Amino acid sequence: MRAQNSSRLVSAALLVTLTSWCAGCATEIHLRQSPGVTEGAGGGRLLVRVFEKRSARNHDITTHRKVVTELYRLEGKTETLVRTETEPRWSVADLPAGDYVLRVPDWLDDVGGVQARQDGHHDHLVIRANQTTVADVVLSDPKKAWVGALIATGLVVAWGYWEIRNWEWYPLAGLEFN
């Protein structure tokens, strides 16, 4: 019985930790390849689209915000900036085949000032010759993510309290005194 109760406590602590960690996972990048779309020899193409949330992605409605996206080419351990863009839809053609990183580090406020994103995100992608890679960047409101995390944490803590209250654990059970 004691082992079962301690495993419940460990599970509750793990859930609280994972919930708060996942609150920072507010940006997602979805990648897909379209073979044979580009013409010519060797060059690949990248199409980037930025959406507020998943439902906007499903309806192909890009964001109205100016979000900075950066494309870097990887050569060994060296990253070379290929393009920086603030538009919600952009593309680059004739990219050499290879490894790249797409970063979403900043956004521009109403007066054009650069604001660092708390949940800056990056994803590794591979550009292949004569193929188009589509990168859908899905943003979400970090404040909403934290509210959800706090609600989930409260539920886990309440559940843990209920479980601890119902334990039948006696630390001195089984000991004999002479």
- pLDDT bin (cut points 50, 70, 90) of residue 91 is very high
State the pLDDT at residue 20. Answer: 46
Alpha helices in the chain (DSSP H): 2-22, 54-58, 142-165
Query: pLDDT tens across 32-71, in order?
Result: 887 655 455 668 999 999 988 888 888 888 888 888 889 9
Rounded CA gap, 161 and 134, in Å?
Answer: 47
pTM over 0.85: no
State the pLDDT at residue 102. Answer: 92
The DSSP 8-state label assigned to residue 19 in this structure reads H
CA angle 143, 145, 149 (to 5 degrees): 115
- Residues of the chain above pLDDT 70, percent: 61
